[in-house]
Amino acid sequence: MTTHNRPFVLAALLTILLLGTAVQARSQDRILQEGLTAFQQSDFGTAIMRFREVLLESPDEQTEATAYFWLAKSAMAAGRLAEAERNLEFYLLTFPNHRFYVEGRYQQGRLLFMQQDYESAIQSLEAFIRDFPDSPFVANAVYWSGEALFSLGRLDQARLLFQRVIRDFPSSFRVEAARYRVAVIELTFREQELLQLLRWSHEENLRALDEFRRRERAFQEAITVYQERLASNEGQTGQDEINRLTSQNRSLQETLRNRDARLRQLEDELRELSAGRNP
């Protein structure tokens, strides 16, 4: 090869190299788009395979970051939570300036909720809300914090967060779900109140029944004694005492009937509430 031909050869090699790089970039973009399309169609298994293919192609940093982010979201959607955790953690640690980083922080809290680590989910979502108060994902973060509290049985705190979603984010698609949760919590509180009343009423009824039986035994004993005295002609005093005891006994029976009626009323209310919760 002559010296004066070398520049042309180098230029040709450079052109081939650039064309190869461009073709590779177009291939990565195509596979990435196929993955996004599969995700949108809820074909999460295919989406995961496509995003993995992108990562095998030695992509540039932005493409790599995008592939890791969507790989984590696809694994979450597919219920492959350990895989999602690995990829999301790598993404957040490696690409803090990427355009999906803020959403990735939100998804971190969601993933903890899906893993039923509710306390950690609350902490993560609270940190997200504090660090990114203007993010469009704040309404979702408040809602899922409420769901985590609900799952932990901290219903008063959960209700406050669901009410916040309704009040502060009226255009959020989470509003209807938040309203439903508030209604469930209110119903739960009412059910607990009725159960407590039912328990108290039942215990009171049992105490009254015990007292009634004790008095009934005493009454029968007194009747026997006074009947014996009457037979011995001891006068009207014994009959007066029998009449007094009989009146007391009737009064106690009326009290028991009233308590039984209240108990049945509470039981009916409780059944109606239970039917409302389980249509």
First to last CA, the chain: 88
In a 3-state reduction of DSSP, which class is residue 59?
A: coil
Same domain, yes or no: 233 and 250: yes
Which tokens go with 141?
């973060």
Please report, for the domain that includes residue 113, its CATH number: 1.25.40.10
CB 60 within 8 A of CB 27: no
* Domain closes at, from 147, 173, 199: 173
Same domain, yes or no: 46 and 121: no
How far is the C-alpha of 182 from the C-alpha of 137, rounded, in Å?
21
Based on the structure, what is the number of domains in the chain? 3
Which tokens go with 22?
């461009």
Task: Give me the helix-helix angle, 175-231 and 138-151, nearest 10°.
Answer: 30
Q: In the prediction, which pLDDT does 44 show?
A: 96
* Helix (H) or strand (E) run with residue 276 in it: helix 237-277
Q: In the prediction, which pLDDT does 261 show?
A: 73
Instruction: Match 């940093």 to its residue by tokens.
Output: 61
* Domain closes at, from 49, 66, 94: 94
Q: In the prediction, which pLDDT does 16 show?
A: 44
pLDDT in tens, the chain (279 residues): 555 555 544 444 444 444 444 445 568 889 999 999 999 999 999 999 999 999 998 889 999 999 999 999 999 999 999 999 999 999 999 999 999 999 999 999 999 999 999 999 999 999 999 999 999 999 999 999 999 999 999 999 999 999 999 999 999 999 999 999 999 999 888 877 787 777 776 666 666 666 666 666 665 666 666 556 555 555 455 566 566 666 666 666 676 677 667 677 777 776 776 676 555
Same domain, yes or no: 109 and 167: yes
CB-count exposure of residue 262 (10 Å: 0-12, 13-18, 19+): middle
Same domain, yes or no: 116 and 160: yes
Same domain, yes or no: 83 and 104: no
Which tokens go with 19?
């064309």
Which tokens go with 57?
């192609």
Q: Provide the residue range defining the domain that includes 150.
A: 100-173
Instruction: Match 């009634």 to its residue by tokens.
Output: 212
How far is the C-alpha of 227 from the C-alpha of 216, rounded, in Å?
16
Report which of 135, 136, 108, 133 is spatially closest to residue 122, judged by C-alpha positions: 108
In a domain, 273, yes or no: yes
pTM above 0.95, yes or no: no
Under DSSP, the state recorded for 172 is S
How far is the C-alpha of 95 from the C-alpha of 65, rounded, in Å?
6
How far is the C-alpha of 10 from the C-alpha of 18, rounded, in Å?
12
Angle at 148 between CA 144 and CA 150, to 5 degrees: 110
Q: In the prediction, which pLDDT does 203 show?
A: 66
Q: In the prediction, which pLDDT does 135 show?
A: 97
